[in-house]
């Protein structure tokens, strides 16, 4: 859990700096910075998506994940948690909920989260999470300056998410070891991150949290395809 604790601490530190600095930055400059971050996130999302080997799997995962997420009300649930957090923080910021949801997707979705937690749990190394912590901490400064305390409120969710992955590391090891599964999971995550980037750019609000089930569907589809192929090979 050392890596997760470090990651949580850097997000708290970065968000705290951003909150202090954000009050001194004019709105026009904040908007320009927000769009700049959005452009960088687009690049990260595209890089993640291109790691996939079969766009059809990504399409199935994202479409299916979106339907499941909407049916379960995932985005609505996260927004309710954000509203509750807003009350606890005594915040009256208009962008508190947006800040929490955006930060959650950016900090908790991606291969570095899975692989870093796996490395921490199984190898007792925090190299990947140390790198992720640095990147998240820097990003948290800018996001908190733009969105406010909602970015700081994501720290407990980050701790819970990465803590759960670390505790379940042995069960998740087959996913990390299977390159096809990991690639398609990363690609699905890239599409979700892209939806977040479009929100940062103020192009569209696609409610990216609703698509989170896609990162479970993608490896499941890969596993199902592998079983079908093995059954065909056995019959032949």
Answer whether 15's CB lies under 8 Å from 155's CB. yes
Q: pTM of the prediction?
A: 0.80
Handedness of CA 105, 111, 117, 118 (dihedral sign): positive
* Residue 6 pLDDT grade (very low, low, confident, very high; cuts 50, 70, 90): very high
Answer whether 144's CB lies under 8 Å from 99's CB. yes
Structure tokens at 78: 């996260």
Number of domains composing the chain: 1
* Residue 169 pLDDT grade (very low, low, confident, very high; cuts 50, 70, 90): confident
The CA angle 114-214-211, to the nearest 5 degrees, is 110
Residue ranges making up the domain that contains 149 = 2-235
Name the maximum alpha-carbon separation found in the chain: 70
Pick from 156-160, 171-175, 186-190, 199-203: least confident? 171-175
Residue 207 has pLDDT above 70, yes or no: yes
Residue 88 has pLDDT above 80, yes or no: no
Answer whether 212's CB lies under 8 Å from 68's CB. no
Structure tokens at 155: 């720290």
State residue 71's pLDDT score.
94
Answer whether 109's CB lies under 8 Å from 211's CB. no
């Amino acid at each position: 859990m050392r890596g997760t604790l470090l990651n949580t601490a850097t997000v708290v530190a970065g968000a705290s700096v951003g909150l202090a600095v954000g009050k001194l930055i004019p709105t026009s400059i904040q908007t320009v910075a927000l769009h700049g971050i959005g452009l960088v996130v687009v690049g990260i999302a595209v890089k993640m998506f291109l790691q996939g080997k079969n766009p059809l799997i990504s399409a199935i995962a994202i479409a299916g994940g979106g339907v499941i997420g909407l049916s379960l009300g995932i985005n609505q649930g996260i927004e309710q948690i954000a509203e509750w957090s807003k009350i606890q923080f005594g915040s009256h910021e208009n962008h508190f909920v947006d800040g929490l949801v955006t930060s959650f997707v950016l900090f908790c979705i991606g291969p570095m989260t899975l692989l870093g937690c796996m490395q921490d749990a199984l190898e007792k190394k925090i190299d990947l999470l140390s790198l992720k912590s640095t990147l998240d901490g820097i990003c948290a400064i800018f996001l908190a300056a733009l969105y406010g305390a909602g970015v700081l409120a994501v720290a407990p969710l980050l701790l819970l998410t990465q803590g759960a992955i670390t505790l379940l590391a042995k069960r998740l090891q087959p996913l990390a070891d299977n390159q096809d599964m990991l690639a398609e999971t990363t690609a699905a995550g890239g599409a979700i991150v892209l939806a977040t980037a479009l929100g940062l750019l103020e192009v569209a609000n696609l409610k990216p949290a609703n698509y989170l089930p896609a990162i479970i569907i993608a490896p499941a589809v890969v596993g199902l395809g592998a079983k079908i192929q093995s059954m065909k090979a056995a019959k032949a």
